[in-house]
Amino acid sequence: MRARLGRATIPIWLLSAALLAQKPAPPPEQAPVIKVEVDVVNVLCSVRDKNGRLITDLSKEDFELYEDGQRQEIRYFSRETDLPLTLGLLVDVSRSQERLIEQEKRAAAQFLSQVLRKKDLAFLISFGPDVQLEQDLTNSQRLLRAALEGLRVRSDPSGLYPGPVPTATKPRGTVLFDAVYLAAEEKLRAEVGRKAMVVISDGVDMGSRVKLADAIRAAHRADAIIYSIYFFDPGAYRGFWGGVSDRDLKTMSEETGGRLFRVGRNRPLESIFEEIQQELRSQYSLGYTPTNTVRDGKFRRIEIRTRRKDLRVQARKGYYAEPPASQP
């Protein structure tokens, strides 16, 4: 059953309520998860050399971690090649993706079949003029393939001539920021362990109720990494001079510790999915108890370095020091 999340007359807080109300029960074979609130910050990171090759053999002693410029003691360390993963796949189904969507469906199905293991979970969200939950959290390849196969291009029916760009009669085009916000707040934030989103889009947001900063904040609060795939059809924007850019996708990915990928002649969608799969299985997890114990809700900047100066660390830029749940 589809959960329709983003109608033009529904405010964002009701979108969240709609998603929660229509959330299917988890499969009976999945064991319940116990969530415990602790004062430990966990950070996932990937490390590459100057040639872009993933480095997977580092130890805890190879890392240094700083919060707001203050050195922190790394108390927990592991390589994340097999730690369970919760993955959200967000697919742009607006009119601008009409000639690309079949390729997206095939490549995404192959990616999910390769990256997901028995303890992993995934969900599928589509977004165009609204946001729809196509498949809730599951480890069933059959259900995910069926949801992908069912994806169809959607445009706002209020427009006389539907297209990728809103007009006076069609005010909503592609609600990219709403989709990221809802995926983070309503699907990933309550989960534990490694969490990531893969967003396939041309990066154009038209009509979202939340801003880019809100979407990024939601991803930070959910401890979720965003991998963005910029897939652009120039023909869909012929005659539109508003400009099309991957800037917002890049910002979301870099802030959360992910990467931006651009589909091109020498970099097909299938190879990009392969790169993401390799990275997800080549991460390090660093955990620390902050020396600043004040839970004031403010953003704390994180910096991770390695003792080897020729290596580059890819990690989220920080986190929000949220008050305990018992506090207002």
pLDDT tens sequence across 43-76: 999 999 999 999 999 999 999 999 999 999 999 9
State the Cα–Cα distance between residues 275 and 54, nearest whole angstrom.
10
pLDDT reading at 30 higher than 50: no
Measure the CA–CA gap between 261 and 272, rounded to whole angstroms: 7
How distant, in Å, are the alpha carbons of 46, 162, 226, 268, 315 from that of 244? 29, 18, 20, 20, 27
Could you tell me which residue, 143 or 31, shows the higher pLDDT?
143
Q: What is the pLDDT of residues 276-328, one digit of tens each?
A: 999 999 999 999 999 999 999 999 999 999 999 999 999 999 999 988 765 44
Percentage above 70 pLDDT, the chain: 80
* Predicted pLDDT at 120: 95
Q: Evaluate whether 174 touches 205 at the Cβ level (below 8 Å).
A: yes
Q: What is the pLDDT of residues 140-187, one digit of tens each?
A: 999 999 999 999 998 765 443 334 444 444 455 799 999 999 999 999
* Nearest Cα residue to 259 out of 197, 208, 178, 213: 197
| Range of weakest confidence among 35-49, 223-237, 298-312 | 35-49
Contact 153, 101 (CB under 8 A): yes
pLDDT at 126 over 80: yes
User: What's the whole-number mean pLDDT along residues 70-91?
Assistant: 92
Burial of 307 (0-12, 13-18, 19+ CB in 10 A): exposed
Distance CA 310, CA 97 (A): 39
CA gap 135, 143 in Å, rounded: 7
Query: H helices then E strands: how many in the chain?
Result: 7, 15
Query: Which domains are seen in the chain, by residue range?
Result: 41-74+286-320 (no CATH), 82-280 (3.40.50.410)
Percent of the chain at pLDDT > 90 equals 70
